[in-house]
Amino acid sequence: MSATTSAEHEEHPGRIMSGEMAQQPAVLRRILGEGAPRIREVASAIAAKKPRFVLLTARGSSDNAALYAKYLIEIRLGLPCGLTSMSTTTAYGARPSLADVLVITVSQSGGSPDLVASTQAAREAGAVTLAVTNNPDSPLAAVSEFSIDIMAGPEKALPATKTYTASLMALHLLVEGLRGGEAPAAGRLPELAGRILGRQDEVRALASRYRFAERMVITSRGYGYPTAREAALKLMETSYIPALAYSGADLLHGPLAMVDNVSPVIAVVPDGKGGKALQPVLDRLRGRGADLFVVGPAPQVEAASAGFVLPTEGVPEELQPILEILPLQLLAYEVTIARGQDPDAPRALAKVTETR
């Protein structure tokens, strides 16, 4: 880092991450306008091949986006769907038969060697391969039969923000395209995203509660679970707070024992079936006196210790994750700033992970 850049970071810590978070409404609008026709075209070509099974391949934030796609594919398409264990191919040399299988690889950079190698092996094994990436000229796109550009523009901050929500939107449009339909409700999201991001002062006040937190637990169910995982990742890679993400069902199977009135619990409560499934977990958490922070509908926030009311009226549950993560990105940013750290310079992190 140059002396000038270093001075800018000291004067305005987090300016890159903040700027990229603010771009998200425009990125979502771009995908819906410029990107949707290409996504529909790719979806139609893939649907014609009639895949019988879907495998998702990703790392980091893209892995959480892939988990969101898993829910979409299983619920909206009724297709069995799994997450790839890449080391079975890249480290152990396994070559499973993948005829009639759709392999979707999600990667912001499209340059991670293990993702490229795994996708190449899948194609050689007979899979239909699709790259969902922010770099249409990447090695990943080159080895894939099909590719989708998430159109987020250059992302310089190490914590992924706009590429995450762009990936969610692209994957949603893909799945709707595979169903032979469109996604009219998605058109509201850019405006709603702008409204949420405009409430940063509200999040800053909430963040002061967690400045000295030693750990956090984040939970959800259904479509909200990928959001919980992504929020935990954002908190850990910016503020270095150990953040554990659990499905609400898994939280009740043992980890609930570590919850007390000191360590904060963040609950992502979808407005729909996922939120109803999470209700017994919320009841148990309140019964244990947990410091409960809720992102979700107003009645759930009012029943918690603190929270952020999400504008979900008229937004289908499967689209809510694109909005749910926004206040949690802001929270990670504001907690990091409150702790005197720079979210633009998390230690020991790199944009492209060189794993095999």
Pair 131, 148: CB distance under 8 Å: yes
Pair 148, 133: CB distance under 8 Å: yes
Q: Which helix (H) or strand (E) holds 277?
A: helix 273-287
Contacting residues for 231 by C-beta, under 8 A, at least 6 apart: 218, 243, 245, 266, 268, 325, 328, 331, 332
Pair 54, 101: CB distance under 8 Å: yes
Q: Which of 50, 156, 162, 351 is catalytic?
A: 351
Token pair listed for 229: 């995982």
Give the DSSP letter of residue 352: S
| Cα separation, 197 vs 24, whole angstroms | 9
Give yes or no: 70 in active site: no
Residue among 258, 256, 233, 257 nearest 245 (CA): 233
- Which residues are marked as active site? 351
